Amino acid sequence: MSKKAVEAESDPVEVKEKITVTAAEMGARQREISVSEFFTKNRHLLGFDNPRKALLTCIKEAVDNALDACEEAGILPEVIVKLEPIGVSGAAAPAPSQATRFRVTVIDYGPGIVRQQIPPIFAKLLYGSKFHRLRMSRGQQGIGISAAGMYAQLTTGKPVQIISRTSARAPAHYFEVQIDTKKNEPRIFENRKIEGAIKKAARRWMNISSRRRSPTRTSSSSITRRRGRSKNIRAPSKSCRRSRARSSRIPTASNSA
């Protein structure tokens, strides 16, 4: 036998002790996982596999929400989608084919969202009004639009900007929100009221020239329900009033005789 082999047999072998963990220590490590935290690490389950598909998913979720709200409120949908590339770190906007960041703007003239519900709708996963209804709709889980905002938050660090109002006379509310992924709760960065004609300003900003439709305008030939008046009561037209006025001035046969 060689000298090295003899020395190897004489040296004691160091055995590492196996670290064991007790049940109490295992139990102390258990904690609740937030749904936002889960989807942050598994964003592919929500349709955000790659940047191109993520952009399509963001637009789809916003348009689906607008169509569902208009359908439920009985309003003819009018949805405007604007997609524009933006530069990184204040740089000039590149060509769309070379851009890596986009600003997605979706405008609809539906029933609107009340002020208290704006932050959880856009910045809280699994929050919605359609999950427990036995009715088909485009969105149902309460994940889509908030997941789109979460993806934008993870990739750009920017909050979601929302402007909403519920009637033409009510003021509009402006919010900037993000999702707290640890708690699945909305974080509000800005909340203020906006006075003025939001629809007119939005059309001017979008550079869209189209005929404005006033939802409160009624035609002269019909009377809608206002202050106790019955619905679908036809009022006489101008031509009918003129013919009645002429007939009242023409003497009848008995009078002429």
pLDDT in tens, 200-246: 555 555 554 444 444 433 333 333 333 344 444 455 555 555 555 44
Is residue 189 a part of any domain in this protein?
A: yes
Residue-range definition of the domain harbouring residue 83: 35-206
Reported residue count of the chain is 257
Q: What pLDDT sits at residue 205?
A: 52
Question: Is 60 exceeded by the pLDDT of residue 187?
Answer: yes
> pLDDT tens digits, residue range 85-127?
998 887 898 999 899 999 999 999 999 999 999 999 999 988 8
Nearest to 101 by CA among 111, 110, 92: 92
pTM over 0.85: no
In a domain, 218, yes or no: no
Residue 68 belongs to a domain: yes
Average pLDDT for residues 69-90, to the nearest whole number? 91
DSSP for residue 43 = G
Which position has the higher pLDDT, 64 or 245?
A: 64
Residue 185 Cα distances to 34, 36, 52, 191, angstroms: 10, 9, 28, 16
pLDDT of 183 over the 70 cut: yes
Q: Give residue 196's pLDDT.
A: 61
Closest CA to 111 of 57, 80, 65: 65
Residue 226: its pLDDT value, please? 37
The Cα 105–Cα 124 span in angstroms is 20
Look up the CATH number of the domain holding residue 176.
Answer: 3.30.565.10
The answer as to whether 1 is a domain residue is no
**How many structural domains are present in the chain?**
1
In a domain, 153, yes or no: yes
SS3 130: coil
Q: Answer yes or no: is 102 within a domain.
A: yes
Q: What is the pLDDT of residues 19-61, one digit of tens each?
A: 787 888 888 888 777 888 888 888 888 888 899 999 999 999 9
**% pLDDT > 70, the chain:** 64
Scanning the structure block, which residue is given the tokens 């023409």? 250
- 217: in domain: no
21 is a domain residue: no
